[in-house]
């Protein structure tokens, strides 16, 4: 048996039985059910293995929902940052933040509803990738004389036939020009259609134009922007447009770190601070961070002052069981728990609480200044954390996932996490990762689902040798096989076996189960 002095492992105290408590999602007073344990200390590898079995921490309390019994099943969800491409709604948020930083522009139209809107999909990603990539402000003077004459002729016809509509409608080419310059989708441009059979044509309007001609003209404008002289002359001489250069969509990093003008209205700085009262930066910013937490909880979650006091804040977001580790092959910042602070013009406006683990960045919580809700800071911080994961991966190749906590399909406000694609859900029975697209049809039919479609598959990490569970008793470490010989309580074995099955064989052999 090992002594207390040799101790360097995770120490956990398992809570017997299952807890029933009020569900924070459907508000069922006794609908939520989970198993839990108090982590006095925990290594980052042990916690990585636990969250890969459906566990999650809140402060030092680590819990696992009983998926087939709880009212709102909570599925662990992870995003794959290396393949992640921001959606249109994500790009809108990033552009909104950049405009605010550059010019102080404030857009307040339903900002906080954006991540919850499940209809925001990249169904026409091809067109919008082009619009977002190009910032074209064509000048008609750049057009060749032939094209210019054609456009002017069309405009004169329009002026002659419909003076009353002159102030309200643009010519088609001018509309394309304006749409390209504004970044709006091309399909919103007005195009007069051929009248349906049996209906007379409206002679007061210019003749309809074929979609092929419109696409050709749009391509010409694009080519002229890239090379207004050489390539356009080649196009006129040969009568065929040259092959367009491939337009890769902007990366997440390009969108986040786009350069700002020297006279930008605001300055945003993101600082990574270890969660430790021994760290001078964490200690000096604690008061401001706590005040922000109180403001957020009272405004967003309607907490009373006594529900979000300093004690609750410290236990929930500043106390972590994770032991900081700095191995030579790990990230420069090391592993452990951190606060990612967003400083705007010298003050904290948001804090993302994260854990950096061997294979992932795990998001714990976010709180922000409600006065800046118009910036959609929930979405913005998630995108920054995805980019941060990619940055850590450059030095630590195995660190390549972003864990977003729990996905709750039965709760509409929590389904937004499924919009960060590609992503996977954890099978609650076999603990394998399954692409979310394969899981959603099953979740539409049932709250609780086994995602692994192989009926023969089992939990490969389950406890197979419970006697090898490490027990910490009376300042001594021993295998459970030795410990149980001295115990007479029949319920003791059932508790240890339940613990071993929930944490899995690997963790049960590494972690120390405290028994009083």
Mean pLDDT for 87-111 is 89
Q: The domain containing residue 43 runs over which residues?
A: 11-137+252-460
Q: Looking at residue 388, what is its pLDDT?
A: 98
* Averaged pLDDT for residues 101-120: 59
With respect to residue 516, please indicate whether it lies within any of the assigned structural domains. no
Which of 94, 40, 34 lies closest to 65, judged by CA? Answer: 34
By CB atoms closer than 10 A (0-12, 13-18, 19+), residue 118 is exposed
Q: Do the domain assignments include residue 149?
A: no
> Residue 116's pLDDT band (boundaries 50, 70, 90)?
very low
Q: Look at residue 58 and tell me whether its pLDDT is greater than 70.
A: yes
In this prediction, residue 246 carries a pLDDT of 56
Percentage of the chain exceeding pLDDT 70 = 72
Q: For the chain, how many structural domains are there in total?
A: 1
Q: 20: which 2 tokens?
A: 């029933």
What is the overall mean pLDDT for the chain?
81
Per-residue confidence (pLDDT) for residue 171, from 0 to 100: 43
Long-range CB contacts for residues 486-495, cutoff 8 Å, separation at least 24: 491/16, 495/14, 495/16
Q: Does 197 have pLDDT greater than 90?
A: no
pLDDT tens digits, 126-155: 232 322 333 333 333 333 444 344 445 545
What local confidence, expressed as pLDDT, does residue 487 receive?
85
CA distance 258 to 84: 18
Task: Name, in order, each residue with C-beta under 8 angstroms of 465's C-beta and a sequence gap of 6 or more.
Answer: 505
451 part of a folded domain: yes
Residue 158 lies in a domain: no
Mean pLDDT of 335-364: 98
pTM for the model stands at 0.74
- In a domain, residue 204? The reply is no
Confidence of residue 488 (pLDDT cuts 50, 70, 90): confident
Examine residue 488 and state whether it is found in any structural domain, yes or no. Answer: no
Instruction: Confirm whether 490 is domain-assigned.
Output: no
- Whether 189 is covered by a domain: the verdict is no
* pLDDT of the residue at 489: 86
336, pLDDT greater than 80: yes
């Amino acid at each position: 048996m090992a002594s207390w002095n040799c101790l360097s492992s995770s120490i956990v105290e398992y809570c017997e039985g299952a807890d029933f408590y009020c569900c924070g999602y459907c508000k069922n007073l006794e609908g939520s059910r989970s198993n839990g344990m108090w982590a006095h200390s925990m290594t980052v590898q042990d916690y990585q293995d636990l969250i890969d079995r459906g566990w999650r921490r809140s402060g030092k309390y680590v819990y696992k929902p009983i998926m087939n019994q709880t009212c709102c099943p909570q599925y662990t969800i992870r995003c794959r940052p290396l393949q992640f491409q921001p959606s249109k709604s994500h790009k809108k948020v990033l552009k909104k933040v950049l405009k605010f930083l550059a010019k102080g522009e404030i857009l307040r139209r339903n900002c906080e509803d954006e991540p919850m809107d499940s209809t925001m999909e990249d169904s026409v990603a091809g067109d919008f990738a082009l619009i977002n990539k190009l910032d074209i402000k064509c000048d008609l003077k750049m057009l060749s004389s032939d094209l210019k004459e054609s456009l002017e002729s069309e405009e004169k016809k329009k002026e002659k036939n419909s003076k009353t509509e002159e102030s309200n409608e643009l010519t088609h080419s001018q509309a394309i020009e304006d749409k390209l310059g504004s970044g709006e989708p091309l399909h919103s441009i007005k195009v007069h259609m051929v009248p349906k059979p049996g209906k007379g044509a409206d002679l007061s309007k210019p003749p309809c134009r074929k979609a092929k001609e419109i696409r050709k003209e749009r391509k010409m404008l694009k080519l002229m922007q890239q090379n207004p002289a050489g390539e356009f002359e080649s196009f006129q001489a040969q009568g065929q447009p040259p092959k367009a250069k491939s337009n890769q969509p902007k990366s997440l990093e390009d969108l986040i770190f786009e350069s700002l003008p020297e006279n930008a209205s605001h300055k945003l700085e993101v600082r990574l601070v270890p969660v430790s009262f021994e760290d001078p930066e964490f200690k000096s910013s604690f008061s401001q961070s706590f005040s922000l937490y109180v403001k957020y909880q009272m405004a967003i979650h309607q907490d009373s002052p006594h529900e979000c006091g300093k004690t609750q804040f410290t236990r929930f977001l500043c106390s972590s069981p994770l032991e900081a580790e700095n191995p030579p092959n790990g990230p420069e910042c090391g592993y452990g728990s951190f606060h990612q602070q967003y400083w705007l013009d010298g003050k904290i406006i948001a804090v993302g609480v994260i854990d950096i683990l061997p294979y992932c960045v795990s998001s714990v919580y976010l709180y922000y200044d409600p006065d800046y809700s118009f910036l959609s800071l929930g979405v913005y911080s998630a995108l920054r954390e995805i980019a941060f994961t990619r940055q850590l991966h450059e030095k630590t190749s195995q660190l390549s996932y972003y864990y977003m906590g729990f996905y709750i399909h039965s709760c509409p406000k929590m389904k937004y996490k499924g919009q960060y694609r590609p992503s996977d859900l954890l099978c609650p029975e076999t603990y394998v990762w399954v692409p979310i697209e394969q899981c959603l049809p099953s979740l539409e039919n049932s709250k609780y689902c086994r995602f692994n479609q192989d009926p023969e598959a089992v939990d490969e990490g389950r406890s197979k040798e419970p006697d090898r569970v490490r027990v910490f008793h009376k300042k001594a470490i021993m295998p459970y096989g030795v410990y149980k010989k001295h115990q007479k309580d029949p319920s003791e074995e059932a508790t240890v076996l339940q613990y071993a099955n929930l944490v899995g064989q690997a963790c049960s052999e590494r972690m120390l189960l405290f028994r009083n």
